[in-house]
Amino acid sequence: MLFNSYVFIFLFLPATVLLFHLLRRIGLARAAIFSLVMASFIFYAWWSFKYLFLLLALMGVDFVIARQILSWRASHRGHAKALVVVGLVINLAALGYYKYANFFVDNVNALFGLELFLATIVLPIGISFFTFQKVAFLIDLYQHKITRFNLLDYALFVTFFPQLIAGPIVHHSEVIPQFARLGRVSGAEIVLGITIFIIGLSKKVLLADNVALYVSPQFDAVLNGAHLHFLAAWSAVLAYTAQIYFDFSAYSDMAIGIGLMFGIRLPVNFDSPYKSLGIIEFWRRWHITLSRFLRDYLYIQLGGNRKGQSRRYLNPLGFYSPPLAA
């Protein structure tokens, strides 16, 4: 179910918003949150019902691990740390399997002349983003950045449908406290959310999708063996940069707008990256919360710039991350 699809705009979103605010207005705030969780499950299952079970299974395992980390982190810190590692391995193993298993088998076959067979694995939509979010939660929990949580809020934190598919990747401190205050949503927030959603939808329908009408035939022609002349090739490339720019800008706006309709302020995830003066600034502006996640949970966790210049450049993000005081 896409944000610009008729079923989302005219059925799913209005029904979800109306049910949420109806439950909220009659004083059933927790029931309103439960309705958002159920709506998020339906939103994800619309793409693939079977992968909803994968999402639920990973969430269940992570929740059990998280509860035990919360119990052990003060008195049995070594055990809690081991559980964090177990959680990371489970989540990253699932991500690696679905994203890279076919790639690995194909390359082994090409390199060694083998004929290993692995059925084509369909990548579960949004798996990178909800995996990163769950990983961040476990690490924050171990580092005492989370004091308490419950199953309902955790489920909404992981599956909240406006940011489930492509971000933004949020910290627990950005949204979990907001879930606790969902009994109070102003009319101004709802109107602002609708306005931002319409702006994003316009970018998608009027700009990104119309540019795609020119880009797709050019790329399809090359894929089929055609040779484009100089102007056609460059115009296709530049048009494609506009397409992906407006497409992700539109998605980011719509996600923020939908969040506001429920009283949730999601972080800005896109900030005019083509205005950047360098690659560092570009990555800070393109997918802001992904860059932030990689910085906070990979670059800094591996030592950042604290262990010498050589270690800094061995870090996966050392090639573009600025010196950070961790």
Q: What pLDDT is stored for residue 325 in this prediction? A: 34
Alpha-carbon torsion (249, 254, 255, 261), positive or negative: positive
Least confident of 36-40, 122-126, 271-275: 122-126
Least confident of 4-13, 44-53, 144-153, 180-189: 180-189
Question: Of 310 and 151, which is predicted with more confidence?
Answer: 151
Q: What pLDDT is stored for residue 120 in this prediction? A: 73
- What is the pLDDT averaged over residues 240-265? 94
Is residue 296 very low, low, confident or very high in pLDDT (cuts 50, 70, 90)? confident
Question: Of 8 and 117, which is predicted with more confidence?
Answer: 8
- What is the pLDDT averaged over residues 104-128? 78
Q: Degrees (nearest 5) of the Cα angle 94, 128, 279? A: 135
Question: Of 238 and 226, which is predicted with more confidence?
Answer: 238
**Whether pLDDT at 320 is above 80:** no
pLDDT tens, position by position, 178-210: 887 766 778 888 999 999 999 999 999 999 999
Which percentage of the chain shows pLDDT scores above 70? Answer: 91
Phi, psi of 315 (to 5 degrees): -65, 145
Closest CA to 295 of 171, 159, 143: 171
Closest CA to 2 of 231, 226, 247, 189: 247
> pTM of the full predicted structure?
0.85
